[in-house]
Structure formats: C-alpha cells, structure tokens
Chains A and B, each alone.
Chain A
C-alpha cells in the first residue's frame, strides 16, 4: 500500500502539473464562429464516446469478483490521463504547429478515441499491474498510437477514419506484447489454488460486466461512424454496424450454447462475442452497399469469436489491405513489448503475484465485505 502511494502521488502530481503548464502556454479554445448544429452534433458524438469509454470499457472487464473496484476506477483514471495527453499529442503531431494549438470538440473526440486504445490494452494485463504501471502504460500507448496514426497517414495515405479503425488491432497486440512480459508463473500449488479462487465467476460482477457490454453494444454505431465526414457514408456505417452486431449477438449466443455439452450458455462468451461483429465491420463498413453483406460478416464474426481464435484480426484480414494491418500489428506488438519491459523494471513496485486480481491491495475496504 505504502509503496504504491508514495510512488503514485509524486508521479501523477508531476505529470498533472506538467499538463497544466503545457495547456496554459500552448493551447487555446476555438474562437471561430460555428453554427449551432455542427456543435451539437459533435457534442453528441463526444458524449457517446465518453459513455463507451467510461461506462462501457470500465464495466466490461469488471467480471473478476475480487477486482471490480480496481477495474472500474483505474479505467476512469487512465481515461482522464490519456485524454489530456492525447489532446496535446494530436496538437503537436497533426497540425502545422504555430505556437498555440486550438482545442475544439473534434480534437477532444479524437483524443478520447486514442485514450480508448489504452483502455482496451489494460484488459490484457487486468489485475496484474498496479496503478503506476497502468499510468505509464497509458502515456506510452497513447504516444505510440498517435505515432502510428501519423505514420499511417503519411505512408499509406489513410484518412482519420481508417487509421482510427486500427485501434482494435493495435491495442490488442500492444496488450498481448505487454502481457507476455508481465506474466509470471506461480510458484506453488497452494497459490495456484488461491489464484483460481479469484477467477471464479460471481453473479453481480458478471451482471455489471453485462452492463458494460450493453453500453458498448449500443453505442458501437456511433463509434464506427464518428470520423466520417460524408453524411451518406455515415448513415451507411450506422446501418451496417447495427445489423452486423445484432446478427453477431444471435450467432454468438447460439454457438456458445453449442459449445457446452449440456447446451448451456456462457456469459463471458456473450460479453466478448457480441461485440465481435462491431469490430469486424469497423474499417470497411462505409463501403458495404447493402445490409445482407454486413449481416453475413456479423454471422462469421460471431462464429469465429466463440471458436476462440482472434476474431478481431480475422475480421480485419478479410477486409482491409494487409500492409497497413501488419504495420499496425507490428507497431502494436513492438511498442507493447517495449512497454512491457519498461513496466517490468523493479521501480514500479508491482504487486506480487499472489496479490494479483485482488482489490484489497489497492483500496480501503468496506468493513463488511461479502464473500471474502
């Protein structure tokens, strides 16, 4: 407890102070006149994103019964940190920089999306990193993701929408790379049993995870359509995503039942698989001309994702040019591994293996804790 605290408050306060200074000197609000309608539209999309990031991703991973608090709260923390850094980074990287960068709703929107990459990756080291490690990870990942988008833009001539749709692949492999470095075998059997006990499902955390899933599910059309400018394309994206993800839900549920010898449905399958459709259709969905193609895609995504292979990349490979994809994968893996190595350094005082997946290491606990 002490070690996390003493390291955390110093680091975070320093970072926050630095942010405030940079924001003070280098940013200004958008003072140009805009009509009310575009402003409202941008604000609505931003709200959808914030809901997805804070509620959706926060609760999606809260299914570990002894790690709910950390999941939700650390998620919010990383989001807040990531957004600030991403706003600055986008400002430095994208516009020709002239002393002051201008912050408007669309730059915050982009920043929220970038910060989401950190939230996705955090899922793969869930319960194994402390808050300082997560903070470092968020900063590094947002930087790497910003760099990747810039390179994508210049090397492959992609627009914002396409490069942003690599977020899932990038974040997934970043997370995998990190998890490779951070995973440690457990020393003996007693501790393994203790660990297994923490992995048991429990009703309330699973339901909370379902809440997160539903929020992601509902707002996925906004996510996929946000960065497109053409109203017609936007509309198509919303329709395609809507039907794809509905189909992948039905398919995932039935395949989950098929997987079990008594035909029982697994809730964890549902959590992950229903979203597979939305991810799979992401990059290409403004090009799909009629609903049934999107629905077939959803069917495939639903089938594959339960089969256990990586639905995300499978859905992608079918759809987008492989060069940029492998670039995203390589970027993700490479920077993930580096970050993992960085996080492995002793200075972060990582929680010891036996304390993995446990809220008690980080929180003041209620006096009457049920089930502990």
Chain B
C-alpha cells in the first residue's frame, strides 16, 4: 500500500501537470479587451455571474457527497477523505479529457464553465464510489476515477454534441450514468464471502447525523446544480423554480412513504438521508423546460415514492438475487430517479413544452447513458478485479483502519454512563 498508492498518486499528478502544460491555457486577456468594444457581453461578465453557482456546485461535490457517505460506523474517514482525493484528481482529469474532446486534440482554454463541468464530471465518479463504498482500496478508486471520467466524457460528448439531447441537470449523463457504472463495477467485484452481511456494515447514531449534514447541503444547493449550465434568463429561472418545488414535494412524499412501509410507522433514517434528494435528480433533465410547477412536483413525488420503495424492496433483491451489492443504494437515489428524469423529459416533449430536442433524441441519450455506463463499468470492474490493487480482505471491508491511521478510541465502543456525582460535571478553576 505504502509505495504503490503514493507513487501511483504522485505519478498521476505529475502526468496531469504535464498534460496541462501541453494543452491547457487560460483565456487570454486580449479576448476581453476586444470584447469591450464588441457587441457580445464580455466573458468576465459571465465569470462573475457563474462563480457563485460554481461554488454551490463545489459545496455539493465536496461536503454534500462526502458527508452523505459517512453513514457507516467505521468508514467515515474514507468516505470524506477518499471523496476529497478522487474529486481533486477527477476534476483535473475531466478538464483535460473534456477539453481534448471538444477541441479534437488542440490546445484548449479554461473558463468558469469548464470548471463547473469538471466538477460535474467528478460527481459521476462519486456516485459510483457510493455503490462500491467500503469494498475497494484507494488505489482502485484512483484507477476507477481515471477510467470512469474518460467513459463519462465520451458519453456526454455523444449525448450533447451528436444526439443534441437536452439534459440540463444531467439526470441521465451524470446520475443514471454514475449509478449504473457503479452497479456494474459492484457486480463484478461481488464478494461471496459477504453474502450474509458484514458486522461493520451498519450505522450508529452519530454517523447517521454526519450523513445528514451531507444530505442537507445537497438538498439546499440542488437548484444551483440543475441550473448552473443553463442559459441565463428564462431557462435558468425555470430550472431553479422547478427543482425547488420538485425537491419540496419529494421530501413530503418520502416521509409519508417511509412511515408507511414500516409496520409500526417509524421513519427510517436511510430513506430520509437519500430518498429526499431523488426529486432533484428526477427533475434534472426537464428542469429548464416550460413545465408547470405542479408537473415538477408530480415528478418529485413519483421519484420520492420510487426511491423509498427501491430502498425497501429493490436493494435486498439486488444484493441477494442479482449478486450486486450497492452499499449506499445509489441505484435508488441516482439510478432510478435518473431514468425517471429521462422518461419525464420524453413525456414533456410529447406534451409539447419544447421542440428543439425530439423524443427520439432524448430516448437515445437515455439509452446511450445506461449502455455506455454498463459496458464501461463491466470493463472497469474487470480491471479492478486484478489482484494487484491491494484490495481489502473480506474481514476488513467497511473499516477505515486498513488505510487510515485511526483513533484508538471510538465513540460507539464506550458505553454511555451517567455521572453519579454531579460535582464531576463542574470542575472549578483554581
């Protein structure tokens, strides 16, 4: 682990720097001075407009996704730490790959839009990370980041440039893609030894609360995520409003259904953490279309319903029958709602709200997202299965201590005890 991981990470990093040296440059200053006289709005203007949105996306990627995965009792460090690592590597690699694809191998310029899109690309990897959480090593994650982003960029290029489909909140290209990619990898990496579950694969009280931090940040900033790359004006405005109402409707539905599927009517924290976000995913594709707010709310509610039902019935089915173990349940949070988003956009176009992309294009985009994800995931999974990447032993799955220096003390091992002597609680200062 020591040398393999370090050398690989530093090697990748040096490679990134060399690639940036060869291909990346900033937008040169003469652009702007020319534009001062031109009629089109200067680039710096769009920079200042987009920068807050970019930061919102940044918060979602690093705090949101990172903390969302901290729900396992012994895996908090890896969830946040590896999340940061692969996002930091992924955004550089995504800048390169996307830039090269769009300029057909020429030098490319970096702008705020490229940065937002780079952050978006890492989201796909982080979603897949959720599916294999706890069962992989950091080395495998580095490798998966590199492979997945390459496939992701190709699919995105296909969807946006060839099919010309509309996917403003990237429900299909990020969420459905990331989820099915992750599922395919998890399917290949299935561990028969963990069929009966693992003693570390559960949450404790405080780890669930940490996960809730991630949920809240994701929930708050989701409208920015769906509207970040929309055209300013009506498109962006509609994307924000639709997402906002879809999320709100989703939350109510999730609470209701979560209480309903449990016999004694108690809420399940896993549903609250994850399914409440399904509304944002599902409305993504058609967020900028002229659907009415009530339609967005219907989409959100359906996504919430499906997502909770998925957690309740589909995840156990996947784990036992299909031999795909999905740790975070990304299929229910990103996969199914992403598909719903694609279908909703087809329905919306059938309903006549938009004319530019046709139904066939949207369907093709959905199909290609899922198709490339599954194929890419299977290939990646096979590469990750090579027993060279320091995979954790079955016994040490879902355990930080294999890859991290961990505290000797862990909160959950200490019994809560009440102080008998009140004075102990208020020591005096001399």
Contact between chains at A214 and B26 (CB < 8 Å)? no
Contact between chains at B3 and A355 (CB < 8 Å)? no
Complex Cα distance A255/B12, Å?
A: 13
Secondary structure at the B interface, as helix, strand, loop or mixed, is helix
The residues in A between 8 and 23 inclusive whose CB is less than 8 angstroms from any CB of B are none
Contact between chains at A260 and B2 (CB < 8 Å)? yes
Query: Which of A207, A231, A289, A367 has a CB less than 8 Å from the CB of B26?
Result: A289
Inter-chain contact count A-B, CB under 8 Å?
218
Contact between chains at A218 and B416 (CB < 8 Å)? no
Contact between chains at B89 and A250 (CB < 8 Å)? yes
Known contacts A202-B411, A295-B16, A296-B17; A265/B425 CB under 8 A: no
Instruction: Provide the B385-408 mask, 1 if CB < 8 A to any CB of A, else 0.
Output: 000000000000000011111111
Contact between chains at B17 and A232 (CB < 8 Å)? no
Give the chain A neighbours of B425 by CB distance below 8 A. Answer: 360, 364-365, 367, 369
Of the candidate stretches B52-60, B235-243, B286-294, the one touching chain A is: B52-60
Complex Cα distance A349/B63, Å?
A: 40
Give the chain B neighbours of A217 by CB distance below 8 A. Answer: 62, 84
Contact between chains at B426 and A249 (CB < 8 Å)? no
- How many B residues touch A, CB cutoff 8 Å? 76
Give the chain A neighbours of B3 by CB distance below 8 A. Answer: 258, 263
- How many A residues touch B, CB cutoff 8 Å? 73
Query: Which of B32, B62, B80, B402 has a CB less than 8 Å from the CB of A207?
Result: B80
Q: Does A339 contact B (CB under 8 A)?
A: no
Instruction: Provide the A242-280 mask, 1 if CB < 8 A to any CB of B, else 0.
Output: 110111011101110110111111110010001000000
Of the candidate stretches A84-92, A143-151, A178-186, A233-241, the one touching chain B is: A233-241
Give the chain B neighbours of A349 by CB distance below 8 A. Answer: 429
Contact between chains at B81 and A204 (CB < 8 Å)? no
Q: Does A222 contact B (CB under 8 A)?
A: yes
The residues in B between 31 and 85 inclusive whose CB is less than 8 angstroms from any CB of A are 32, 44, 47-48, 51-52, 55, 58-59, 62-63, 66-67, 70, 76-77, 80-81, 84-85
Contact between chains at B47 and A290 (CB < 8 Å)? no
Complex Cα distance A364/B80, Å?
A: 31
Complex Cα distance A2/B430, Å?
A: 9
Give the chain B neighbours of A296 by CB distance below 8 A. Answer: 17
Contact between chains at B91 and A214 (CB < 8 Å)? no
Q: Does B199 contact A (CB under 8 A)?
A: no
Q: Does B157 contact A (CB under 8 A)?
A: no
Q: Does B269 contact A (CB under 8 A)?
A: no
Q: How far is the CB of B242 from chain A (nearest CB, A)?
A: 23
Q: How far is the CB of B140 from chain A (nearest CB, A)?
A: 14
Nearest B-chain residue to A236, judged by Cβ: B26
Q: How far is the CB of B182 from chain A (nearest CB, A)?
A: 22
Contact between chains at B88 and A249 (CB < 8 Å)? yes
Q: How far is the CB of B78 from chain A (nearest CB, A)?
A: 9
Give me 7 other A-B pairs in contact (C-beta within 8 A), A201-B405, A217-B62 excluded: A200-B408, A235-B26, A239-B26, A253-B81, A255-B10, A263-B6, A291-B25
Q: Which residues of A contact B (CB under 8 A)?
A: 1-4, 41, 44, 48, 65, 200-204, 206-207, 210-211, 214-215, 217-219, 222, 231-232, 234-236, 238-239, 242-243, 245-247, 249-251, 253-255, 257-258, 260-267, 270, 274, 289-292, 295-296, 299, 349, 351-352, 355, 360-361, 364-365, 367-371
